[in-house]
Every structure is written in structure tokens, then in C-alpha cells.
Amino acid sequence: MTKIRAAVVGGGIVGLAVARQLLIEVPNAEVVVFEKEDLVASHQTGHNSGVVHAGLYYEPGSLKARLCRRGVGLLAKYAADKGVPYEECGKIVVAQNMAELDRLHTIHARAQANGVPDIRMIDAKEIAEIEPHARGVAALHSPHTAIVDYVGIGKALAADIVTAGGTVLLGHEVTSITPETALAGRTRQVAVTTRAGTERFDLVITCAGLQSDRVATTAGDTIFPKIVPFFGDYFLLSPEKASWVNGLIYPVPDPKYPFLGVHLTKRFDGAIMLGPNAFLSLGREAYRPRDYSFRDIADAIGFGGFWRFASQNLPAAARESRTVLSTRSFVNEACKYVPGITMADVHRGPRGIRAQAMNSDGSLEDDFVISGNDRVVHVRNAPSPGATSSLAIAEHVVQEALDRAGLS
């Protein structure tokens, strides 16, 4: 049998999961992962909250809903097999008033439709039993929502790829992807170019996260959805107050606004994070407050869809800007759910950047988006719960890619 050559662009958790799945589905395949950084899991995978989402919020029947529920089971088993830290610490989504309680009932119904196990509504007394320092009129309790070391998962996936005969090329930024016809006796191939040269493959799958739109357009894919980066800052709770939080304490999302707001999250190493907020980033990879990229700034503010989005979300923008400019405002948001946290109890933590996929009219892509053709497949949008769903996304994308290419 002729050996299939396949390339995966992107060494984050989704790209690594896709490469591993290719080696499972096509054992004779030659699989190469191209990652521009010197380490795997360097961007969104290594800069998120570490939450393994149970599937509470997503539209029943959507890719997010289906792949999240499948992904949780796959991820939990994989973490156990590889000895990667994983803990079902549980999560409460806390309503502060009757309007939020109405929305919480809607989320409860959605979670039940998605098959989230053991999900239930609890009253204020039960909130105190689960999270003694939390306050609210009612909450939705998801006992199986978990936390994990996603970087550890990424490293384990990379090791699996190499063990199975694949290659992970670090420091190899892909500069172009060019479909070719009738080259070297093959009916169709795809040329992948880096600064090290050009290689040709039978199948290419791109999972480029923050750069997904740019990588896709080099292969001739559509401009939209376009990535607009939003940063999210976290603060860390002092060790003295870390014992105040047992698991995950979340606000009730407002469907009118795209961002959740500050919440409290236990990390796999025991630290407690407050955040994130959400505001336009000065760079797609600007992880420090003074980092910026002129190209990324021009790309975002020169995009009419961003301004249409901003004009439709002014109240959310005002709230988020307060938490960016004032640590006190940031802490006050957390205090709505856990009163008693003070400025002295927190210090600045990491920053994450969300690859927000946006359409030309300013609308946000809510579901996972996969595009491309019969030889080049692009994962254009895999936001939260993308990491949770990564192994299930890999199953879905690899099967679709093989079917399109007639290589199943």
C-alpha cells in the first residue's frame, strides 16, 4: 500500500490530537507536525484556565455540545493513562438575583439536553455546603466539571506521535500552503513551505489557533471568519485565601454579551485564579501587558466587522475596560460571588489570549468551524471548549479529512 504523507500545521492541543489520530486511523501514514515555536502547547493551550468543561452552555446538537461531551470522556481516560493531573473538583454557576435565576434554569435545561451527568439546581444553603464562602440566591451544580494540566496533555500527545513514528518539527513556521496537481506521478499533492524549505503531502490539516485565518488564506481559503484577539488577565489568590475556594465558581452568562466575566477557578496545582476579563489585545501573542504587534493592531482596527461588533456591545466593553484599568474593579467582580476578597489578597497572574472568530458583519462564530477542500482541511474556530473537546475534535476532523480526500 502506498504510504500517505500528511501534515498538521500547529502544535497546540488540537493539532497534536489530530496528528495522533491520523496515526491511529492510518497506521502506515507518515505524519509531520509543523509548530513555529520551540515548545508544543505554547499559545492558547498553555495560557488557559485548565478547566475541563462538562457541556452546560452549548446549543444541543451543535458540534460544541456533541464533541465536548465525547471529549470529556476521552480526555479523562487519556489523562489517567498518561499520569497527567486531572481532578473533578466540580463547578457552581451562581445566580445573584431573579433575572439571573431565570437564565440559570435555561442553562439547566440545555445541560440536561446535552447529557451532562448529575447536573442539578441547588439553593443558597446547598451553595454554602459546596462552597462555604460563596454567596448567591441559587446555583447550578455540575459535580463532574474538572481541571487538568493541558500542557501536560500536549506533551504526552507529542510523545505519542513520535513513538508511533510521526515527526514533530519545532521552530518551523509555515509560510505558505499550495495545492498542486499531477506532481511526481500523484493525482494531487499539497506543498507546505517553511524557511527550511518545501515538502509535499497528500493531506494537510491546519490547526493554527490564533493564526488560523492567516494560515488558511495562504492555502486559498476564505478570509472569514477572521480572528480578532481578546486578552484575558488573571489574578492569583493568596495562599491564605486559596482555601476559600474548593472548585469552580462561575457567574451566570448573559446571552446579550459575548464574554462571561470574572470568575474563580481552581488550578490543577492548587492555585486559585480570578478572571479572566476580556478586551481587545494589542497582539495575537501579546502575553505581557507591554507586548504589541503593529500588524495585529492594524489588522483588528482596520476590520469593519470589529467596529460593528464593538458598537453592539458597549455595556460589556465598559465593564471589561473597568477591570482592565482597575485592579479594584476586577476584585470587586469576584467579590460578588465570594465576598471578603481584598486587594491585599491577590497578585497579578498569567494572561491568556482568545482567538475570537468574527464574521464580516461583526457577528461571532459560536460553534466549531471546519473548512477547506479535499486535500486541505482547516480548523478555523475551536474556542472553549476546544481544549476539552480536543481528542473528539481530532476524531471528527480526521474522519472528515480522510473522507474528503478519498483516503478512508
Average pLDDT in the 374-401 region? 97
Q: Is the pLDDT of residue 187 over 70?
A: no
pLDDT-derived band at 346, boundaries 50, 70, 90: very high
Q: Is the pLDDT of residue 259 over 90?
A: no
The CA–CA distances, whole Å, from 108 to 120, 336, 365 equal 7, 21, 23
Full set of structural domains in the chain with CATH = 5-45+151-225+366-405 (3.50.50.60), 227-358 (3.30.9)
Report the DSSP beta bridge partners of residue 280: 230
Q: Which of 224, 170, 171, 197 is nearest to 378 (CA)?
A: 224
Residues contacting residue 56 through CB under 8 Å, at least 6 positions apart: 93, 107, 110, 111, 114, 116, 119, 140, 142
Residues in the chain: 408
pLDDT-derived band at 255, boundaries 50, 70, 90: confident
Q: Is the pLDDT of residue 378 over 60?
A: yes
Residues contacting residue 197 through CB under 8 Å, at least 6 positions apart: none
What does the alpha-carbon distance between residue 7 and residue 18 come to, in Å, rounded to a whole number? 10
When the pLDDT of each residue in the chain is averaged and rounded to a whole number, the result is 95
Average pLDDT in the 103-112 region? 97
Lowest average pLDDT, out of 21-25, 319-323, 394-398, goes to: 319-323
Q: Is the pLDDT of residue 256 over 80?
A: no
Q: Which of 132, 79, 39, 94 is nearest to 268 (CA)?
A: 79
Question: In the sheet where 188-194 sits, what is the strand order?
Answer: 174-181, 188-194, 197-201
Give percent of the chain with pLDDT exceeding 70: 98
Q: Which of 45, 85, 34, 78 is nearest to 386 (CA)?
A: 45
Q: What is the 3-state secondary structure (H, E, C) of 200-265?
A: EECEEEECCHHHHHHHHHHCCCCCCCEEEEEEEEEEEECHHHHCCCCCEEEECCCCCCCCCCCEEE
CB 238 within 8 A of CB 347: yes
Q: Is the pLDDT of residue 185 over 70?
A: no
Q: What is the pLDDT of residue 182?
A: 54
Angle in degrees, CA 185, 186, 189, rounded to 5: 130
Average pLDDT in the 54-73 region? 97
pTM attached to this predicted model: 0.96
Average pLDDT in the 118-146 region? 98
Q: What is the pLDDT of residue 58?
A: 96
Q: What is the pLDDT of residue 254?
A: 87
